[in-house]
Structures are given as C-alpha cells and as structure tokens.
Amino acid sequence: MSFFERLQAATRHSLLCVGLDPDPAKFPGAWQGDASRIEDFCRAIVDATHDLAAAFKPQIAYFAAQGAEDQLERVIAYIRQVAPQLPIVLDAKRGDIGATAEMYAREAFVRYGADAVTLSPYMGYDTIEPYLDYADRGVFVLCRTSNPGGDDWQMRPLADVEGQPRLFEELARRAQHEWARIPGQIGLVVGATYPAEIARVRALAPTVPLLIPGVGAQGGDAEATVRAGWRADAPILVNSSRAILYAGKTVEGLGAAARAVAQRTQAELAQARG
C-alpha cells in the first residue's frame, strides 16, 4: 500500500494523531527526570491510545537530545507490533539537499522505518525530491505552521505587488500540482491555530493530505480545524501531543489520564467531521 492509501484507511475511524514528544523533566512521579524511561513512557501512551488514534508522530529531537535514538527505534517497533495498521510520521523537519538529503531520507525510512517524515522546504524542491524515491512513503512539508513566528516568511507575498500569492499559498499550489510523483505522496503541515489558512490551503490543494498540529496545549479549536480541512477524499491528521502525554500526574495513572484526553479529543474531531 502507498502511504496515501494507509492514511486513508487509518483516518476512516479517527482523525487523531498522537504526538510522542517525551520530555523526562515532565514525566510523572518516580520517572521524572529519568531519560532511561523514555521508551517506557512512550509505550504506556501507545498502549492507552492506539485504538483511538489514526497515527503516531514521534518528534526525533526529544529522543536525540537524550541520546535515546535506540529507544526511538524500539518505540517505533512497538507501535508496529500493537498497531501495525497505523502510519508513523517521524517529525524531523529536515531541510537539506543532495547526498545529505538522501542520508536523511535513509535515516527516516530505513533506520527508523517511518511511513512519513516532516520536511522544511526553505531550500526548494531539492530538499524534497530524495524522499520521493521511496514510493510507498510520504512527506509532510511545512506550509503554514502553528507558531506566531511563521508570519515572518509564510505570510509574505512573493512580490511587492497587490494580489501576489503569499509564500504558504504558493507552497500549497506546488504540492497539489507540481511536486508529487504519486498522488497523495506529498502532504502539508498547517497549524490548527490558523483555521482560515487551513481553509485557504485546502482550497488550493483539495486532495493533499494535511498534518495539523496545535490542538490541545497550543489552543487550536478541533471543530474549526476539521471544518476547514477535512474532505472525504483528502485525509487529515490532527495532532495533539502535550495535552495527552502529560495529563497523568503519577506513573500508575499515566495511561488512564492520557486515554481520557485522547478519547475526548477524538470524540470532538469525530463530531466535527459528522
């Protein structure tokens, strides 16, 4: 199956993407500050939420900062074991060219076995092309991100002329019409904190998958997000990380608390989809 086909299948029952951003400083109880517990923490989250999720999104920096790449490999293997049908998106935001991009693609798709990876397009199509050689995998290109600083570049018109498209709009257009070799192979990252921009991206890229972070701790509205981005033939993943991960205050209550937040978020997304 292509990545797009796997994503379509997974999003039929849920739109929720559970982000895995394990910060030992925020771990509950006796695990707090213990980086050796990263795998245990993530496995507990996976156990509690995999039947509610459409995908998991491990953020590589949280593992690499602790020298825990081996734990990341085992976490991904564990997801494959308990929820083999769910896509795994490696949140790496890579953005290099040539042989270096080829190595980053190998890291994401061969070493870690991810189904998709997040990329920065700042250096152009060269940064994306090596990943497309993996025909059964996907990429999510940063388009309109959820952080306020995204305005610095993403909202700027391409020329100082009235009516010119803004950078994020041109990225959306290219993802729809020019870049993908296989339909659905290239998706876009659009923040839930900007529902008007989600709607604009969807208008410009009607069949492109969207990865939408920002629901939960960042304050994005689940209903507005789904109404702006969801289409029956264009899957979306709505990501929540911190709100789910750190709901529990004890090791014993970690799973139950995470599940409660995930269940509530998944229900909100399902209601919005109708």
3 state SS of 32: coil
Position 108 scores a pLDDT of: 98
Position 1 scores a pLDDT of: 84
Position 179 scores a pLDDT of: 87
Position 146 scores a pLDDT of: 56
DSSP 88: B
Below-50 pLDDT ranges, the chain: 154, 161
Domains in the chain, start-ordered, CATH in brackets?
A: 3-192+204-273 (3.20.20.70)
Position 215 scores a pLDDT of: 77
pTM: 0.92
Position 102 scores a pLDDT of: 97
How does pLDDT run across 134-173, given as a tens digit for each residue?
Answer: 999 999 999 765 556 655 554 556 655 456 678 888 889 9
Position 123 scores a pLDDT of: 84
d(Cα 236, Cα 214) in Å, to the nearest integer? 13
Position 240 scores a pLDDT of: 93
Q: Which residues of 166-204 are buried (b: 16+ CB within 10 A; e: fewer)?
A: bbbbebbebbbeebbeeebbbbbbbbbbbbebbebbbeb
For this structure, is 57 an active site residue?
no
Which member of 26, 57, 93, 249 is catalytic? 93
How does pLDDT run across 196-228, given as a tens digit for each residue?
Answer: 889 999 999 999 999 999 876 566 788 889 999
**Block residue for tokens 């069949």:** 207
Position 180 scores a pLDDT of: 82
